[in-house]
Amino acid sequence: MSKQVVLIPGEDAAAEAFEETVIVLDCLIDHLGLDIEWIRPAVGQAGIDEFNNPFPDQAKHAIDHSDATLFGATSGKSGRALRYLRWGLESYANVRPVRWFPGCNSPLSAPEGIDLAIVRENMEDVYIGVEGDLKILQPMNFTSWLSNKPLNELGEGRFGLKVHTEKSVTRIVKYACELAIKRAELSNRNPILACGTKHNISPVADGYFRTIARETAAEYPEVTFTSLLADDLIHQLIINPQQFDVVVLPNLFGDLFSDATAALVGGLGLAPSGCYGENGAYFEAVHGTAPDIVGQNIINPTATILSAAMMLEYLGFDEPARQVIGCVEQIYVEGKYLTPDQGGQSTTTEFCNSLKEKLRSSNK
């Protein structure tokens, strides 16, 4: 049966990387005879409009009935599509692999062996989307346990809620444990999982995340689980990233730490991601739309291509996914067709042409 994949290119330079990636995938599909069908739904207007129009039914239907979605990145116009993919589909596990391979422009003197995966809870934390005027909270007579001051004394201001629920923490940590076990099997070592929270300053909310994470990880005795303060964790990730394998984080830390760790291996141009849930999955680069380089044909497509490789794997096309990754690695080793962020002078199109050439010759 053919696999149906929804394509949503997004905006700015990210859309340029996206379209080049689709051309590479078309080449792979032709050469290997993969049964994949693209669907390009119209995704509607920017943001929430004044009439609060819902996400177009046709796009929703296409996503609901597809096997996966490949997404560019959004600066707003495709924002409702992203919101549907994430909160509508409940794609709760955002996996962001961080791996150095020879030729990547790492700022570190010894990046060899960096190979970890950030597993970011994708729906809650401050992304619960509940904010308001502090006045709403004043009748509740909250007092800060840190300053001992009643909330009423803070004066004019706004608040944003941070929420961790038992269901969400349990499922993300289960996902992370299972990923740690899978990765350990592939590399023939023991599964390890690190968790980062700010439980000293947020003993109730982050403390809860940590407690549930610990209890859940205990159901996987083969996984060595460590809990760190988030500030210590990011410091450790930067000074000795090779010691980590899977790192599970609440939403906001996951977002911040994955950009930081992408920098260790050579930047956002290299960082892919997949978002998985019970009802589907979508794949997109970690980076945003890169509006500052739009129209120049210099955006590094590697992050989008590696996200597409994660998608191929998810669809059951393991060998084609390995081929894509292998050919990308060859381009970096050769260093001839790299984009400016990697110290090269090639365009996005030249990088992708070189990749197509390699895919063709590996399938002769």
Which chain residues interact with ligand ATP by CB under 6 A?
A: 17, 73, 268-269, 287-290, 292-293, 299-300, 303, 341
Minimum distance of ligand ATP from residue 301's CB (angstroms): 7
Q: Is 178 or 259 the residue whose CB approaches ligand ATP more closely? A: 259
CA torsion 202-278-311-209 (nearest 10°) is: 10
> Closer to ligand ATP at the Cβ: 266 or 320?
266
Instruction: Compute the half-sphere exposure of residue 165: CA atoms within 13 Å on the CB side of its CA.
Output: 9
Residue with tokens 């961790």: 164
| Residue 274: count of CB within 10 angstroms of its CB | 22
For ligand ATP, the nearest residue by Cβ is: 288
Residue pair 250/121 in contact (Cβ under 8 Å)? The answer is yes
Q: Which is nearer to ligand ATP, 119 or 306 (CB)?
A: 306
Min dist CB 289 to ligand ATP, Å, is 5
- The minimum distance between CB 303 and ligand ATP, in angstroms, equals 5
- Which of 39/256 has CB closer to ligand ATP? 256
Q: Are 28 and 305 in contact (CB under 8 A)?
A: no
Provide the residue type at 241 as one letter. P
Report in angstroms how near the CB of residue 292 gets to ligand ATP at its nearest: 5
The smaller minimum CB distance to ligand ATP, of residues 89 and 262, is found at: 262
Q: Which CB atom, from 196 or from 269, has the smaller least distance to ligand ATP?
A: 269
The least distance separating ligand ATP from the CB of residue 16, rounded to whole angstroms, comes to 10
